[in-house]
Amino acid sequence: MKLPLVDSHAHLFVKDFADDLDEVINRAGKKGLTAILTPVDILDPQEIEKALNYSSSVLPIFLAAGAHPHQAHKFNESYLGKIESLARKKKIVAIGEIGLDYYYNFSSPDAQKQAFYQQLILAEDLKLPVIIHSRQAAQDVLSIVKKAKFSRGGVLHCFTENYQLALEMMEQGFFISFSGIITFPNAQSLREIAVKIPLENLLAETDSPYLTPHPLRKKIKRNEPAFIFETVNFLAQLKKTNLTELVSQLQENFQKCFGLEDKIIKEIDI
């Protein structure tokens, strides 16, 4: 029996996987993955088309759609309509990734805040969870979630912010997701936060094709869903938790977060 792993965030339809996506999915299945969630950029029609037309017999791939904060300067209300259309047709299970990124600031803070707020309002109306990207923007993320009176929950993906944000967002019904960053030698402060996160609020992700876990990243540049095992195994050791129990809890959390309780198989054989 393989461990029923889930990757709660992987960018499968970017150019990095254009030539070998089937092989990537097969490797994930052989590693035991039972589901992957993939956010797509609502401003990129080619990525959306690829995502909607792709299917795999190996494992289910669930989709989210939204405008990343890097793209906020291009965002307008027409994209809200596109997100809503996908949601009404039940093509997506969440809106995201959305949020604020004050590290790169590819879009102005004001543009980011506006796009984030509008997408939260839409998600509330559609009764969908959100996938939040927050980088050096903890206080504004929290204040905008509260301003929008958002109540559908979701996930703080690839978490690197402070513990106070994690605590307050968990109170708002959010899960906290850790990527391969948790394995990096210089991520001690993040590990100290991860130890404090209750198992029932925890998720794990690869954020593929980025952030290959240590020590794989010494030899492998492109991350992929099969490598989720390294991050989950690391989390189990960090939190002094039985690996099998952690994997089971992560799957339960994934299903609860995205409303997928009846849609994920428990184990697969390749």
pLDDT at position 105 is 87
Distance from chain centroid for Cα 27 = 20
- Separate counts of helices (H) and strands (E) for the chain: 9, 8
pLDDT at position 264 is 61
Which residue from 197, 187, 130 is spatially nearest to 163, judged by alpha carbons?
197
pLDDT at position 263 is 73
* 3-state SS class at 93: coil
pLDDT at position 88 is 93
Distances from the Cα of 127 to the Cα of 34, 84, 92, 251, angstroms = 25, 11, 12, 21
Which residue from 144, 175, 139 is spatially nearest to 159, judged by alpha carbons?
175
Query: What are the tokens at 58?
Result: 């190996």
Tens of pLDDT, residue by residue over 108-143, are 999 999 999 999 999 999 999 999 999 999 999 999
d(CA 162, CA 182): 14
Domains identified in the chain and CATH numbers: 5-258 (3.20.20.140)
State the CB neighbour count (10 A cutoff) for residue 53. Answer: 8
Q: For the chain, which residues score pLDDT lower than 70?
A: 1, 264-270
Strand pairing of 61-66 and 94-101? parallel
Distances from the Cα of 94 to the Cα of 8, 145, 238, angstroms = 11, 16, 29
pLDDT at position 89 is 94
d(CA 174, CA 162): 15
Q: Are 9 and 207 in contact (CB under 8 A)?
A: yes
User: Is residue 83 exposed (0-12), middle (13-18) or buried (19+ Cβ within 10 Å)?
Assistant: buried
pLDDT at position 265 is 53
d(CA 133, CA 179): 12
Which residue from 164, 176, 64, 172 is spatially nearest to 123, judged by alpha carbons?
64
pLDDT at position 261 is 83
Amino acid of residue 157: H
Please give the model's pTM, rounded to 2 decimal places.
Answer: 0.95
Helix 138-147 to helix 109-126 angle (10° resolution) is: 40
